Structure 1
Amino acid sequence: MFCNLPTSESLMTRKPLKVLFVIHDARRGGVQSVMLRVISALDRRRVEPTVLFPFDGPCAAELRRLGVHVVAAGEQSPFIWRFKRFTMIPRLLKLAGQADIVHLNSTKLALPAIAASMAGVRTIYHLHELPGRIGPILSSAIGRADCAAFCSNTCAGHFAAVAARKRAVLVNAVPMPSVAARPKPGVPKIVMLGSINRAKGQDLLLDAFPLVRSTAELHFYGNVGLSARRYARALKERAIDKGIGDRVFFHSPTDDVPGVLAETTLLVHTSRQESFGMVLVEAMAAGIPVIANDLGGMREVVADGVSGYLLAPGDIALLAEKIDFLLADPELRGRMGMAGRDRVREKFDIATRIEDYHKLYEELASGGA
């Protein structure tokens, strides 16, 4: 159970808890976006954040602009930057000695999480991914933490067999836009946001697109990692081979998701595996209908037939059919868009979900388990 909400009088007399956030990467990415929103929404009367990154980058710069104390353990170096997650452990332990709680994020920080727990500081190990194999190091990191937190019930279920002292689900959330997006009339734009790799399933959407009768454009936004370069090249070649190369566009990751969504008619997310589906929440908050695969955390986000559609993964013909169905009916898109906004307001609004973080920090700091 979480502790009771503090009164305004107690907030005035009590010092804020010092929470050290440890984030695995300072570049743009899903986990980073989630935690930037959390840190930005914290009540500074209750929580004083410090953020540690293994190296500097745009996410660190954004937090500094918000007045957050940020520490970068080193510089990003070609080919060896992943090792910075381990070489930053001495810096982590030094900062942990000044914190009430250390909140580590990502399965990629298992060793730093173990080090923080062994140092005797109260730790939250927050998991956002669904690894294919849960090895002994990751299991140990989860078991040693004072609390293992998960981004969704799907994610919590994935780790259900791993022993943990305490478990909590901290649902990913977004700021609620004051008004819905209003795409301009013209050529409809189908958008998919996310790192470009096979797990995200851009090929499934690309295979469905030639079957779509509408003259829509298809836009992919996302980073291409070293291991996914061949996959990304194959996508572009496939678009040309299918005769749709003039209507399919590949973009770098965007720093302006609201701007992209403002011009989006329909967001499609054909990921083969997903612990949550943050881009779906972002689109729904903007009043845009969504289509996603019926699996993982996406089932927790999308109300099938209400705010969008959940489809069997790999059913290319049905995917094309649902895309055409929505593009042909602006009134249905409007109803689904408004239903999506209502769902986000109820379940995924950072203005209300941030209280889950406040309560968890206060409970752990007071010795609760």
Structure 2
Amino acid sequence: MTRAVFLAHTAAPSGAELATLRLLSALRDRPGAPFEVELLVTEDGPMVERVRARGIPVTVQRNTFDSRSMTIADSGAGGLLAGGVALLKLGWTLGGVLRERRADVLVAESTKALLMGAVAAGRARIPLVWQVHDLVSREYFGRVLAVVVRLLGWLLARGVIANSRATLGSLFTWRRAAVVAYPGVEPVTAPDDDRAPQRAPRDTVVAVVGRLCPWKGQDVLLRALAAARHRPRTVYIVGGTFFGEESYRDELVALSDELALPVEFVGHVEDPTAYMRAADIFVHCSVLAEPFGQVVVEGMQAGCAVIAARAGGPLEIIRPGVDGFLVDGGDAAALARILDQLIADPELRTRLAGSARIRAREFGIDATAAAVAEVLTAVTAGSARRSAVS
């Protein structure tokens, strides 16, 4: 049985970490070809207990540096160099942990995990796979750093797992095992008929779910609602701030008050499904291209009529006019027009929501686990052949 260790630099409950939790469970429970899976994380946080609650082993090897030192904006070139050295030292320590755990393959869950994972995997003499949750583009990394990260990924990892075709297209994968494995959703436990039917226009409920930060575009939604002819009864803004962006929430509150919108700021919740199932319309309004957009699939699975930004992953999820609508990110006027159309037409919402539920089944966690298992098996088999030759 293959023992796969997943390495993460954070234990905050954001989208990538939640996707990893679902993947670990599915890999462990695969019929016929299960994996022994573990999580190795370099800081404590809410995800540690959530993973352990599913019976998956977790090792916390705390870092000795502030991860913010890894950005030039926060600490300058000197701080970046110091943080890089500390990252490599931590990688060496992690390599010892991997040897003790008798790991067969290491999966790095972020760019920082890739760097320290390369050292760790080298010390443990096991292959390294990079699971990429972000578009490696200049919009996210800057022009020069994006190229550097692509090169490092190609040089350091023997395999790549991308969360969308868009993400895979932003990487260098020549002569590397590579696969698209969408962040799969788990089956819903509530029956379909447990959901209320689409409401009348005056009673419509709109929801948006995601971390509150400028690039997620919650302010665009508020401006679109203010410009729309039809206003919903309630707007749920579900999500918290995790990375020093609390001021953005204050700006959103002030904007909703200024525009006199019926907004309820829910904050971070462990499971936002109840809010999605209580909504008629789900809006994803990122102003940057989303690497995948698993929350879009979750909104479809919950039976909402979905609007998503027309870039990145959502282009691979939604078929416009069939199971949702797409709108250019940041275009409040276009978003207002689609909101007007949906709010005024409950029958259209019902048709889109029904198709969306069917479409969401194509992004199940079992398919994700099968794709990931294929790459992990390929790189471990290649590593075994090289060891036999040497």
| Kept after mapping to 2: 8 A contact 1:287/1:340 | yes
Query: Which residue pairs with 1:132 in the alignment?
Result: 141
Q: TM-score, normalised by structure 2?
A: 0.82
Which has the higher mean CA deviation after the structures are superposed, 25-34 or 100-109?
A: 100-109
Establish whether residue 170 from structure 1 lines up as the match of residue 173 from structure 2.
Answer: no
Q: TM-score, normalised by structure 1?
A: 0.86
Which has the higher mean CA deviation after the structures are superposed, 27-36 or 124-133?
A: 124-133
- Counting only pairs closer than 5 Å after superposition, residues 89-108 of structure 1 correspond to structure 2 as 89-97=91-99, 98-108=102-112
Q: 1:240 aligns with which of 257, 260, 268?
A: 257
- Counting only pairs closer than 5 Å after superposition, residues 1-369 of structure 1 correspond to structure 2 as 16-44=1-29, 46-74=34-62, 88-97=90-99, 98-119=102-123, 120-130=125-135, 131-133=140-142, 134-136=146-148, 139-160=151-172, 165-177=176-188, 179-180=191-192, 182-183=195-196, 187-212=203-228, 213-244=230-261, 247-273=262-288, 274-345=290-361, 347-367=362-382
Task: Output the aligned Cα RMSD.
Answer: 2.6
SS of the residue corresponding to residue 125 of structure 1 reads strand
| Kept after mapping to 2: 8 A contact 1:154/1:297 | yes
1:22 partner amino acid: L
* Structure with greater helix percent: 2
Query: Which residue pairs with 2:75 in the alignment?
Result: none
Gaps of 5+ in 1: 1-15
Cα deviations by residue, 1:172-227 (Å, 9 ceiling, x for unpaired): 11013253361476843211111111111111111111123134222212222454
Task: Say if 1:197 and 1:87 are closer, same or farther in 2 by CA, change over 3 A.
Answer: farther
In the alignment, the residues of structure 2 paired with residue 110 and residue 172 of structure 1 have an alpha-carbon distance, to the nearest angstrom, of 19
In the alignment, the residues of structure 1 paired with residue 20 and residue 249 of structure 2 have an alpha-carbon distance, to the nearest angstrom, of 28
| Kept after mapping to 1: 8 A contact 2:10/2:43 | yes
SS of the residue corresponding to residue 124 of structure 1 reads strand
Which has the higher mean CA deviation after the structures are superposed, 261-270 or 104-113?
A: 104-113
Task: Say if 1:89 and 1:116 are closer, same or farther in 2 by CA, change over 3 A.
Answer: closer
In the alignment, the residues of structure 1 paired with residue 339 and residue 107 of structure 2 have an alpha-carbon distance, to the nearest angstrom, of 40
SS of the residue corresponding to residue 382 of structure 2 reads coil
Task: Say if 1:95 and 1:78 are closer, same or farther in 2 by CA, change over 3 A.
Answer: closer
| Kept after mapping to 2: 8 A contact 1:143/1:163 | no
SS of the residue corresponding to residue 249 of structure 2 reads helix
In the alignment, the residues of structure 2 paired with residue 259 and residue 91 of structure 1 have an alpha-carbon distance, to the nearest angstrom, of 42
Which has the higher mean CA deviation after the structures are superposed, 18-27 or 44-53?
A: 44-53
Query: Which residue pairs with 1:13 in the alignment?
Result: none
The percentage of counterpart residues that share the same residue type is 26
Displacement of 1:78 in angstroms is 8.3
In the alignment, the residues of structure 2 paired with residue 169 and residue 61 of structure 1 have an alpha-carbon distance, to the nearest angstrom, of 28
2:233 partner amino acid: A
Cα deviations by residue, 1:77-107 (Å, 9 ceiling, x for unpaired): 9887987966642442123221111111122
Which has the higher mean CA deviation after the structures are superposed, 278-287 or 129-138?
A: 129-138
In the alignment, the residues of structure 2 paired with residue 29 and residue 333 of structure 1 have an alpha-carbon distance, to the nearest angstrom, of 29
Displacement of 1:50 in angstroms is 1.1
Cα deviations by residue, 1:124-150 (Å, 9 ceiling, x for unpaired): 111111233315356224322110221
| Kept after mapping to 2: 8 A contact 1:113/1:141 | no
1:93 partner amino acid: G
| Kept after mapping to 2: 8 A contact 1:289/1:333 | yes
Task: Say if 1:176 and 1:334 are closer, same or farther in 2 by CA, change over 3 A.
Answer: farther
| Kept after mapping to 2: 8 A contact 1:107/1:128 | no
In the alignment, the residues of structure 1 paired with residue 238 and residue 89 of structure 2 have an alpha-carbon distance, to the nearest angstrom, of 32
| Kept after mapping to 1: 8 A contact 2:238/2:272 | no
| Kept after mapping to 2: 8 A contact 1:113/1:145 | no
| Kept after mapping to 1: 8 A contact 2:232/2:343 | no
Which has the higher mean CA deviation after the structures are superposed, 282-291 or 212-221?
A: 212-221
Task: Say if 1:137 and 1:337 are closer, same or farther in 2 by CA, change over 3 A.
Answer: closer
| Kept after mapping to 2: 8 A contact 1:113/1:125 | no
Query: Which residue pairs with 1:5 in the alignment?
Result: none
Q: How many residues are aligned here? A: 350
In the alignment, the residues of structure 2 paired with residue 46 and residue 74 of structure 1 have an alpha-carbon distance, to the nearest angstrom, of 29
